């Protein structure tokens, strides 16, 4: 097994894929370093799977270049593919084999033989909790087990690079948790790209997230950076007892850093949210605390920003404003 | 890993997959039943009184293979595409031609195994008379080569579609052409229509498996016949690789 020390494990330059007249992927560029876990987000049909298929050498790109561990995947596919472990969408596996037979086959095709092969199989069987179904046929497995069997296949050669297309799709909450832990742990030493629809997963696993929409990268940054783009980032929510909603709104709206204030009343308690003029502005919290001194404030917190709201406002700019709740 | 190792790994998996399902056993049983029935009942093995398998046994193989070989070959690529394992296979560190050759060889070996199970007929003919076993062996070699040619054609049709049924029908039609081009009634018809263009008739009949199989039946191992079958196989596997690549580019 070649162990690379190169910093940039995956380099994608102006990658484009055209199907007929549709540009499924339109000039995407990014890099992934060792030790990074890149989360790939985007609505259905945004081009996530197509990008991954080009990264792994299944689809040749219409234009652009993919370099994996220094090898161009179009010109030098075999050494490049050796470095990659790939979990395709829907986790396909040969249905006419047992789990052990399937893993044995994938280990062998990766060039593992004898003891090295057996220890590799044992390692992934333990990591993916497949012991109980090891001698069961793949077509009799439940979706979660089949998914984990295909996931096991992708890590059997301990690759430097992992490309995972929706790795937690179809798993129950416990299995999701296990797989996320595993991805995060492996991410310390490998370069990992994974796609997901689940935004909480981005926080749980990624060091960096990229949102793509209609074939283009529309946002790229750490989960914190993305969250700061939300209008909720830096907003202050507080609960006050004994002051009228109108008075609260009047006072908070006049703060220098405040854009707008929304309130709701339950009994004598008013819950107010002050949105900052500038997303992520730390001054707002200080101003709110000063302005409310003398009031009976029962709770006060600064919001971190919401990924789902960022996701919606970026991928559906027309409707995001209407849907954003007060 | 070298190409040979990769091909062996893929062929081994494919061959195991045949025997893991009832398809393999059903196929072998039907093949043997057909052989028995046609050799003894229709071919008149006993009535002929010949210590030979040329006319009573091998005569039927081009027709059996017409239906049986596409049934073996139809799942080769259609199933990989339907289930999605094609994506898994082609993102492994292997060249596509290694996968194509590996899968083809597995099915060809499987057909060879089915053919070997017809050995009781060889014992029978040896028990009853003293046939030329060299001729019989040459018949078997020819029969296996012919099965390989059909199978390679089935590889193409299997790569074209996700549906095994479509693959089966198209490949039966294609194989039927390979037979009919050398079937005597069809040749007579062609000669009647195109009697001034004997070269045309010759060209068409030269594409027939029957024409090339006849030599083997008689015990004549002509290198031209061997080359014919091998080039049909080579050409078809190459076409398969082109089709698989086209699916991925467009």
A160, A58: one domain: yes
Contacts of A197 (CB under 8 A, 6+ apart): A41, A44, A166
Do A200 and A267 belong together in one domain? no
Neighbours of A161 (CB within 10 A): 24
Same domain, A196 and A242: no
- Candidates A58, A109, A153; nearest CB to B6: A109
Q: What percent of chain B has pLDDT over 70?
A: 99
From the list B9, B83, B95, which residue is nearest A105 (CB)?
B9
Contact criterion met (CB < 8 Å) for B92 and A97: no
Tell whether the model's pLDDT for residue B61 goes beyond 50.
Answer: yes
Task: Specify whether A251 is located in the same domain as A128.
Answer: no
Residues A232-259 pLDDT 10s: 777 888 888 878 778 888 777 777 777 7
- Residues A267, A223, single domain; the answer is no
Task: Quote the number of domains for chain A.
Answer: 2
Asked whether residue A49 falls in the same domain as residue A129, the answer is yes
> Residue A321's pLDDT is what?
45
* Nearest CA distance, A9 vs chain B (angstrom): 17
Quickly state the pLDDT bin for A322 (edges 50, 70, 90). Answer: very low
**Among all residues of chain B, which has the CA nearest to that of A18?**
B250
**In contact, A138 and A99? CB cutoff 8 Å:** yes
Structural domain of A39: 8-227
CA distance B192 to chain A (A): 48
Q: pLDDT at position A108, please?
A: 94
Distance from CA of B137 to the nearest CA of A (A): 35
Domain boundary among the residues A227, A252, A268 is at A227
Confidence of residue A288 (pLDDT cuts 50, 70, 90): confident
Residue A325 lies in a domain: no
In a domain, A13, yes or no: yes
Residues of chain A with Cβ-Cβ distance to B241 below 8 Å are: none
Q: Is residue A317 part of a domain?
A: no
Q: What ipTM, to 2 d.p.?
A: 0.87
Shared-domain flag, residues A154 and A265: no
Strand partners, A37: A192
Tokens of A204: 């749980």
Q: CB–CB of B17/A96 below 8 Å?
A: yes
Q: Is residue A50 part of a domain?
A: yes
Task: Please state the domain count of chain B.
Answer: 1
Minimum-distance CB partner of A92 among B13, B84, B95: B84
pLDDT for A280 equals 61
Q: Mean of the per-residue pLDDT values for chain A?
A: 85
Range of the domain at B183: 3-249
Say whether both A50 and A169 belong to one domain. yes
Same domain, A112 and A257: no
- Contact check, Cβ <8 Å, A60/B248: yes
Residue in A with minimal Cα distance to B94: A78
**Half-sphere exposure in the Cβ direction for A215 (13 Å, CA):** 12
Residue A308 lies in a domain: no
Whether residue A3 has pLDDT greater than 70: no
CATH number of the CATH domain containing A100: 3.40.50.300
Q: Say if residue B85's pLDDT is above 80.
A: yes
- pTM of the predicted model as reported, rounded to 2 decimal places: 0.86
A17 plus A124 within the same structural domain: yes
d(CA A39, CA A219): 11
What are the DSSP calls for A102-155, one per residue?
A: HHHHHHHHTT--HHHHHHHHHHHHHHTT-GGGTTSBGGGS-HHHHHHHHHHHHT
Which residue intervals of chain B are DSSP H helices?
3-20, 22-37, 45-48, 61-73, 75-83, 85-90, 96-116, 119-128, 133-160, 164-180, 184-193, 198-206, 209-218, 223-249
Residue B227 token pair: 């080359």
Whether A100 and A144 share a structural domain: yes
A121 and A66 fall within a common domain: yes
- Are B52 and B137 in contact by the 8 Å Cβ rule? The answer is no
> How far is it, in rounded angstroms, from Cα A77 to Cα B97?
13
**Chain A / chain B CB contacts < 8 angstroms:** 72
* HSE toward the beta carbon, residue A219, CA cutoff 13 A: 24
């Amino acid at each position: 097994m070649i162990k690379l020390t190169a910093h940039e494990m995956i380099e994608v330059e102006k990658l484009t894929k055209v199907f007929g007249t549709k540009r499924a992927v339109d000039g995407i560029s990014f890099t992934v370093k060792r030790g990074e876990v890149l989360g790939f987000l985007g609505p259905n049909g945004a081009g996530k799977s197509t990008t991954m298929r080009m990264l792994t050498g299944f689809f040749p790109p219409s234009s652009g270049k993919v370099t994996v561990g220094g090898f161009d995947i179009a010109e030098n596919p075999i050494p490049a593919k050796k470095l990659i472990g790939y979990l395709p969408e829907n986790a396909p596996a040969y249905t006419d084999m047992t789990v052990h037979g399937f893993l044995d086959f994938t280990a062998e095709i990766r060039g593992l033989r004898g003891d090295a092969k057996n220890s590799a199989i044992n390692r992934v069987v333990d990591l993916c909790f497949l012991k109980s179904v090891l001698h069961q046929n793949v077509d009799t497995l439940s979706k979660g087990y089949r998914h984990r069997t295909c996931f096991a296949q992708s890590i059997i050669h301990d690759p430097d690079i992992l490309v995972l297309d929706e790795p937690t799709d179809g798993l129950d909450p416990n299995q999701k948790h296990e797989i996320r832990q595993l991805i995060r742990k492996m991410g310390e030493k490998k370069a990992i790209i994974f796609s997901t629809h689940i935004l909480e997963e981005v926080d749980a696993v990624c060091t960096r997230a990229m949102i793509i929409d209609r074939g283009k990268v529309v946002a790229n940054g750490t989960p914190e950076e993305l969250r700061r783009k939300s209008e909720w980032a830096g907003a202050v929510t507080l609960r006050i007892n004994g002051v009228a909603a109108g008075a609260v709104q009047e006072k908070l709206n006049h703060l220098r850093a405040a854009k707008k204030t929304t309130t709701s009343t339950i009994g004598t308690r008013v819950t107010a949210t002050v949105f900052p003029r500038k997303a992520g502005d730390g001054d707002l919290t200080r101003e709110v605390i000063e302005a409310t001194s003398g009031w009976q404030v029962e709770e006060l917190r600064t919001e971190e920003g919401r990924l789902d709201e960022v996701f919606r406002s970026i991928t559906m700019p027309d409707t995001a404003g209407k849907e954003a709740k007060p | 890993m070298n190409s040979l190792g990769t091909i062996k790994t893929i062929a081994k998996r494919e061959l195991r997959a045949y025997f893991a399902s009832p398809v393999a056993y059903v196929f072998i049983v039907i093949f043997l039943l057909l052989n028995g029935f046609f050799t003894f009942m229709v071919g008149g093995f006993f009535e002929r009184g010949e210590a030979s398998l040329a006319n009573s046994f091998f005569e039927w193989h081009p027709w059996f293979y017409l239906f049986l070989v596409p049934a073996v070959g139809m799942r080769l690529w259609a199933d990989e595409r339907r289930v999605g394992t094609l994506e898994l296979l082609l993102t492994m560190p292997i060249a596509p031609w290694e996968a194509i050759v590996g899968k083809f060889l597995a099915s060809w070996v499987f057909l060879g195994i089915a053919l070997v199970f017809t050995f009781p007929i060889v014992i029978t003919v040896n028990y009853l008379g003293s046939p030329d076993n060299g001729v019989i062996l040459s018949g078997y070699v020819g029969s296996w080569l012919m099965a390989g040619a059909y199978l390679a054609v089935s590889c193409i049709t299997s790569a074209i579609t996700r549906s095994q049924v479509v693959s089966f029908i198209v490949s039966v039609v294609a194989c039927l052409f390979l037979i009919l081009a050398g079937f005597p009634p069809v040749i007579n018809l062609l000669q009647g229509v195109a009697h001034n263009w004997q070269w045309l008739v010759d060209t068409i009949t030269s594409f027939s498996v029957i024409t090339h199989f006849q030599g083997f039946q008689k015990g004549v191992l002509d290198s031209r016949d061997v080359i014919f079958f091998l080039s049909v196989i080579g050409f078809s596997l190459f076409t398969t690789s082109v089709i698989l690549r086209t699916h991925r580019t467009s």
